[in-house]
C-alpha cells in the first residue's frame, strides 16, 4: 500500500511537473530562438550605416567632408603645378623663339663687329649686301648703329631737299661711322665676308672701301625700338 | 522549483538552434522581431511570476507567448504604416510589465524564504514544547503500564 501510494504520488508529481515544465520549456526555447535570430540580425545591422545613431553619422559626415575638401585642395594645387609646368615651359620657349625672331629683346653672344668709317663711299646696297652675307653665313642677329635688323627693316638711299645724299635706316639718317654687329659663329662670319671674291674683297678692290672686322667674345645687340603692329595680316587657321 | 534547470536547458537549446541557422531577418523587419522578442521576454517573466505565486497555467503561458509576440510585432508594423511610433507604446508597456513582474517575483521569493524560516522556527518551537511536555508526562506518570495495540 505504501509503495502504491508512493507510486501514485510520483505519478501525480510527474504529471504536475509536465504541466508546468513543458509549456515553460517551449516558451523558453522559442524565446531563445527568437532572441538569437534578433541578436544576429542586430549585429549585422549595427555594422551597416542605416542603424548608426544620428550623432555618429554627423561626425562621420563631417570627418569625411573635411577629408574630401583636403583632398580636393591637394588635387587643385597639384593640377595647378602640373599645368604651370606644362604651360610655362611651353610658353617660355615660344616667347623666347618669338623674341629672338622678332628682335624684341636684347641679345648677346659671340660674333663680329664691322666698322665702316665716314670717308668710305659706300651706299645702301653695300650695307644690304653685307647684311645678306652675314645672314647667309649664319648670323642670328644683326644691328647697324644699334638699330636691330628685322624683317621689316628698310635701308634706303635718300636725297633730301638740300640735295645731300644719305642713307636711312628705318627712315632715320644713318650716321658714320657705321658699326655693324652680328651674332653668330665669329670665324664663319668673318670668312663669309672676307673670302677672296667675297663682299669685302669686292668693296676693297672696286670701291676702295676698307671695313674693319673684329671678332668679339661678347656682342650686345639691342632690341627693336618699336614693335610693328600688324593690321592687315591675319593667321590662316586650317 | 527544483526543476528550473529544464527551462534553462531548453533556453540554451533554442539559442543553439538560432545560432545554428545563421539566418538574419531583413533589416525592414528587424524592428518588429525586436518587439516580438521583448514581448516573449515579458511573457516569460509573467510565467515565472505565476509559478512563484502558484497561479501557473501552461496553456495561458503559451497562448500569451504567441499572442503577445504577434500582437507586439503587428502593433509596431501598424504604427509604421500610419506614421506613429506605436512600437514605443509596446516597448513602454512591456518594459513596465517586465519590471513589475520582476518585482513581484523578487518579493514573493523573499516572502517565501521568510515564511519557510518562520515555519522552521515554529516547528522547532513545537518540537521543543513537545519534548518538554513528553518529559513532564513521562516524569508525572511513573507507574503507568503502557498498553500497546496491534494494528489490524
Q: Give pLDDT tens digits for B95-152.
A: 999 999 999 988 888 888 899 999 999 999 999 999 888 888 888 776 666 667 776 5
CB B39 within 8 A of CB B94: yes
Report the chain A residue with the minimal C-alpha distance to residue B7. A25
- CB of B41 within 8 Å of any CB in chain A? yes
Tell me what the mean pLDDT of segment A106-131 comes to. Answer: 84
Using a pLDDT cut of 70, give the percent of chain B over it.
91
CA of B26: how far to CAs of A217, B33, B99, in Å?
89, 10, 30
Surface of B (122-151) touching A: CB under 8 A: none
B47 contacts in chain A (CB < 8 Å): 23-24, 27
Report the chain B residue with the minimal C-alpha distance to residue A17. B3
Q: Which three cell numbers stand for residue A43?
A: 549585429
Report the C-alpha gap between A26 and A51 in whole angstroms: 32
What is the pLDDT at residue A7?
52
Tell me what the mean pLDDT of segment A91-106 comes to. Answer: 79
Higher pLDDT, B24 or A216: A216
Q: Which three cell numbers stand for residue A9?
A: 504520488
Beta bridge partners of A220: A108
Tell which phi-psi region holds residue A208, choosing left (phi > 0), alpha (psi between -120 and 50) or beta: left
Report the C-alpha gap between A213 and A200 in whole angstroms: 10
ipTM for this prediction:
0.70
Using a pLDDT cut of 90, give the percent of chain A over it.
8
Report the C-alpha gap between A48 and A50 in whole angstroms: 6
Tell me what the mean pLDDT of segment A151-175 comes to. Answer: 82
Higher pLDDT, A88 or A36: A36
Question: How crowded is residue A182: how many other Cβ atoms within 10 Å of its Cβ?
Answer: 31
What is the pLDDT at residue A1?
45
What is the pLDDT at residue A72?
94
What is the pLDDT at residue A71?
93
Helices (H), A47-102: 54-102
Which is nearest to A109 in space by CA: A136, A143, A85, A133?
Answer: A143
- CB of B70 within 8 Å of any CB in chain A? no
Q: In this predicted model, what pLDDT tens digit does every residue of B15-54 receive, in sequence order?
A: 888 888 877 777 778 888 888 888 888 888 888 888 877 7
CB B52 within 8 A of CB B105: yes
- CB of B103 within 8 Å of any CB in chain A? no
Interface-testing mutation among A13, A21, A22, A32, with chain B (most B C-beta atoms within 10 A): A32
Instruction: Give me chain A's average pLDDT, please.
Output: 81
What is the pLDDT at residue A130?
86
Which is nearest to A179 in space by CA: A145, A211, A209?
Answer: A145
Contact B34 A45 (CB under 8 A): no
Report field, pTM of the whole predicted structure over 0.80: no
Amino acid at each position: 500500500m505504501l509503495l502504491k501510494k508512493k507510486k501514485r504520488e510520483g505519478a501525480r508529481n510527474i504529471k504536475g511537473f509536465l504541466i508546468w515544465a513543458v509549456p515553460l520549456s517551449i516558451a523558453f526555447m522559442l524565446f531563445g530562438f527568437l532572441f538569437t535570430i534578433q541578436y544576429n540580425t542586430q549585429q549585422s545591422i549595427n555594422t551597416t550605416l542605416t542603424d548608426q545613431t544620428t550623432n555618429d553619422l554627423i561626425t562621420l559626415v563631417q570627418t569625411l567632408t573635411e577629408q574630401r575638401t583636403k583632398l580636393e585642395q591637394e588635387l587643385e594645387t597639384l593640377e595647378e603645378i602640373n599645368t604651370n609646368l606644362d604651360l610655362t615651359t611651353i610658353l617660355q620657349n615660344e616667347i623666347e623663339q618669338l623674341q629672338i625672331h622678332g628682335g624684341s629683346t636684347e641679345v648677346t653672344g659671340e660674333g663680329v663687329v664691322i666698322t665702316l668709317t665716314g670717308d668710305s663711299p659706300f651706299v645702301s646696297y653695300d650695307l644690304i649686301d653685307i647684311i645678306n652675307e652675314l645672314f647667309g653665313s649664319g648670323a642670328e642677329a644683326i644691328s647697324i648703329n644699334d638699330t636691330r635688323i628685322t624683317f621689316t627693316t628698310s635701308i634706303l638711299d635718300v636725297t633730301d631737299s638740300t640735295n645731300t645724299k644719305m642713307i636711312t635706316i628705318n627712315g632715320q639718317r644713318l650716321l658714320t661711322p657705321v658699326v655693324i654687329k652680328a651674332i653668330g659663329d665669329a670665324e664663319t662670319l668673318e670668312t663669309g665676308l672676307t673670302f677672296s671674291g667675297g663682299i669685302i674683297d669686292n668693296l676693297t678692290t672696286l670701291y676702295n672701301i676698307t671695313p674693319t672686322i673684329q671678332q668679339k667674345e661678347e656682342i650686345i645687340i639691342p632690341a627693336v625700338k618699336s614693335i610693328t603692329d600688324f593690321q592687315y595680316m591675319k593667321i590662316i587657321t586650317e | 522549483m527544483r526543476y528550473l534547470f529544464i527551462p534553462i536547458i531548453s533556453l540554451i537549446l533554442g539559442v543553439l538552434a538560432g545560432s545554428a541557422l545563421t539566418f538574419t531577418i531583413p533589416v525592414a523587419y528587424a524592428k518588429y522581431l525586436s518587439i516580438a522578442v521583448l514581448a516573449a521576454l515579458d511573457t516569460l517573466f509573467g510565467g515565472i511570476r505565476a509559478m512563484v505565486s502558484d497561479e501557473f497555467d501552461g496553456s495561458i503561458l503559451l497562448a500569451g507567448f504567441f499572442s503577445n509576440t504577434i500582437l507586439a510585432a503587428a502593433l509596431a508594423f501598424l504604427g509604421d504604416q500610419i506614421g506613429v511610433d506605436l512600437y514605443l507604446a509596446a516597448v513602454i508597456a512591456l518594459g513596465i510589465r517586465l519590471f513589475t513582474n520582476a518585482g513581484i517575483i523578487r518579493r514573493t521569493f523573499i516572502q517565501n524564504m521568510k515564511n519557510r524560516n518562520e515555519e522552521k522556527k515554529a516547528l522547532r518551537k513545537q518540537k521543543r514544547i513537545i519534548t518538554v511536555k513528553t518529559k513532564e508526562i513521562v516524569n508525572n506518570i511513573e507507574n503507568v503500564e503502557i498498553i500497546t495495540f496491534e494494528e489490524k
